[in-house]
Amino acid sequence: MDFITYIIDFILHIDQHLVEIINNFGIWTYIILFLIVFIETGLVVFPFLPGDSLLFAAGALSVLDGSILHIVPLIITLWLAAVIGDSVNYQIGKKIGTSIPEDSWFGKLINKEKMEKAEAFFNKHGGKTIFIARFMPFIRTFAPFVAGASRMNYRYFLNYNILGATVWVLLCTLAGYFFGNFPIVKDNFSLVVIGIIVVSVIPMVVSFIKSKMDKKSAE
């Protein structure tokens, strides 16, 4: 419970925690940011780590005079973490996706029948799915794993992995860079983070409602 409370506090006050990390670790902050984004996108068991809000906060702090963070190397670091993370997640899904017991909680999500459906879905809509998933917390962690488990063509996956990572990193970090230090944003950063989270999950909510409506229409 304390761990969950810490994660929530870290996400909602990520600007303060990031300042502490910068003060304590200096240039190593780039490595820490790389690892956080890599783990959030690359390891399917860590979907709760901050993504959009971390990029926004890092972009905002890169503007400050004397900050160890600079926008160009920051973007390159986060972009590499995002691309490599999704690629690793894909390979993990490809190697162990079919060996997960079907009666386990995760196996129920990706059992053989659902994996075949996922493969058909990815073959038809894969690029769009991987791209959109970048902007959806939790979903962006699971999408590459399922893509790998369903044997989605890797070159096809990689193209949209790179495209999605590029747009995601540029949009979030540059938003922080240009708007993160406005007084109204700085004074209400927790609300901004909540807003980012809400906006990020809108596509997931819309997709869920649409699927329910389609199912109801079919019935």
8 Å CB contact between 118 and 148: no
Per-state percent for the chain, helix, strand, coil, to nearest 5: 80, 0, 20
What pLDDT does 180 receive?
73
User: pTM to 2 decimals?
Assistant: 0.76
pLDDT value of residue 85: 94
φ, ψ of residue 149 to 5 degrees: the values are -65, -30
pLDDT of residue 161: 93
Check residue 203 and give its pLDDT: 63
Mean pLDDT by 10 residues, the chain (219 residues): 63 73 91 91 72 86 87 96 94 77 60 58 71 79 84 88 93 87 70 68 64 65
Cα gap 46→95, rounded to integer Å: 18
Rounded to an integer, what distance in angstroms lies between the CA atom of residue 64 and that of residue 22? 12
The sign of the dihedral angle between the CA atoms of 45, 49, 52, 55 is negative
180: number of CA atoms within 13 Å, CB side?
25
135 to 14, 26, 198: CA distances (angstroms): 18, 29, 11
CA angle, 148 then 50 then 109, to 5°: 35
Please count the other Cβ atoms lying within 10 Å of the Cβ belonging to residue 72: 8
Q: With contact defined as beta carbons under 8 Å apart, do 29 and 69 qualify?
A: yes
Q: What would the two tokens of residue 219 be?
A: 């019935």
Nearest Cα to Cα of residue 138 among 200, 58, 206: 200
Decide: 115 and 60 in contact? Cβ < 8 Å.
Answer: no
